[in-house]
Amino acid sequence: MADGLCPALFVGLVALWVLTSSVLRTPLYALIVRRSQEPGRATAVALLGMGLASALAPYLGTVLKGVDPVLPFTLSGVSLALGTLGFVAWEARQRPANCLSPAMSAGRKPW
């Protein structure tokens, strides 16, 4: 009984992980498409970045295997901060400072 349960539990957990990870990515793409002047190009750049990160992750895992654990966490924190700053700069460049978005001009909340 326990032998048959473990693979099914593992498959169920993997399916749950796949569903939740895709749910977490969807708001990012919706925000990019909604706020971008060129939605196709912005989405392509975001997908390219995620693809490169996914391709480099196994390599970085083997390279950083013997390194102090503080370094990978520091690198991920710095990369998250740089990505956030880049996204903020990109969003500020997308719309002029004197222009309101259509949602804000109609009196609705933008989120």
**pLDDT, tens digit, for every residue of 84-101?**
888 788 777 776 655 555
Q: What is the pLDDT of residue 3?
A: 64
pLDDT at 111 over 70: no
**pLDDT, tens digit, for every residue of 64-79?**
888 888 888 888 889 8
CA 59/CA 64 separation, integer angstroms: 9
Overall pTM > 0.85: no
Helices (H), the chain: 2-35, 39-63, 70-94, 102-105
Q: What is the pLDDT of residue 91?
A: 76
Q: What is the pLDDT of residue 109?
A: 55
**pLDDT, tens digit, for every residue of 3-33?**
667 888 888 888 888 887 766 666 766 777 6
CA 102/CA 110 separation, integer angstroms: 9
**pLDDT, tens digit, for every residue of 46-65?**
778 878 888 888 888 888 88
